[in-house]
Amino acid sequence: MFKRRVPKTFSVKVRDFVWPRPGWRRLGRLYALKLYRLQGTAGTIAAGFGCGAAVSFLPLVGFHFLAGAALAWALRANVLASAIGTIIGNPWTFPFIWILSWHTGTFLLGQETQSAHALDFGAVFAALWEGVITTDAKMLAENVWPVWWPMLVGSLPWALTAWAACYFPLKRLLTSYDRIRTMRRLERLAALTQTGTGTTGGEGTGTAGPGKPATAQASEGKK
């Protein structure tokens, strides 16, 4: 019933993923509105979003949604918020994330630093998918592991940093939003209460005096 009349083609989906048609600012507002409407406390929603942002730094292309949901579930955070948090990993940020993770990982492991520009990360992740699907351990060991392992090690510190950088500010924003929303509800309730009280108090009141209809007082005067 609510589906598009003309389904999007694959090329249109790819284009919208790389560059959203509404624009990044409007898309950001849309995701913020989705966060505000989620059920849960400010802490659980912020933690869930942080989980999605954190796993975006891990070299698990294609598994970020599942990894974010699993981490959010383990931390008792909001799973839906983790799906929104994976927006941190996108075609515009992935190249920087991969280069940063690679250099950090080789430094932590004490390996000789190879220029990240000489590496074909796309080919590495394609080989990762192919090796997982075909269960080709030799391919994974020769073509994936030498690059993937340093990236995984190097991504962990940045994943923790991303989680903290998202959790604390977002929790404060959501708490403030909840406070403002609660105040508005109380103001509306108070306004409705005052309106109802004024209407009730005005019933049966006229020039003849409060609490008694004018016709009744007129009949008593005639007697």
Task: Name 209's bridge partners.
Answer: 206
The angle that helices 24-37 and 145-202 make with each other, rounded to 10 degrees, is 60
> What is the Cα–Cα distance from 77 to 43, expressed in whole angstroms?
8
Burial of 157-168, coded b for 16+ CB within 10 Å and e otherwise, reads: ebbeebbeebbe
Please count the other Cβ atoms lying within 10 Å of the Cβ belonging to residue 150: 23
In the prediction, which pLDDT does 189 show?
81
Instruction: Walk along the chain (223 residues) in steps of 10 and give the mean pLDDT of each run.
Output: 54 53 62 78 93 95 92 95 90 90 92 71 86 86 89 96 95 86 80 72 48 48 46
**pTM score, whole prediction:** 0.70
In the prediction, which pLDDT does 139 show?
85
Kindly state the greatest CA–CA separation across the chain: 113
- Condensed to tens digits (0 to 9), the pLDDT of residues 19-46 reads 555 555 666 666 677 777 888 899 999 9
Which one, of 129, 165, 149, lies nearest residue 51 by Cα? 165
Which one, of 94, 105, 90, lies nearest residue 151 by Cα? 105
Cα-Cα end-to-end distance for the chain: 72
User: What are residue 205's phi and psi, to 5 degrees?
Assistant: -115, 130
Compute the C-alpha angle 10/86/40, nearest 5°.
Answer: 120
Contact 105, 152 (CB under 8 A): yes
In the prediction, which pLDDT does 195 show?
79
Which one, of 27, 19, 98, 116, lies nearest residue 61 by Cα? 98
In the prediction, which pLDDT does 205 show?
47
Locate the domains of the chain by residue range: 10-190
> What is the Cα–Cα distance from 34 to 27, expressed in whole angstroms?
11
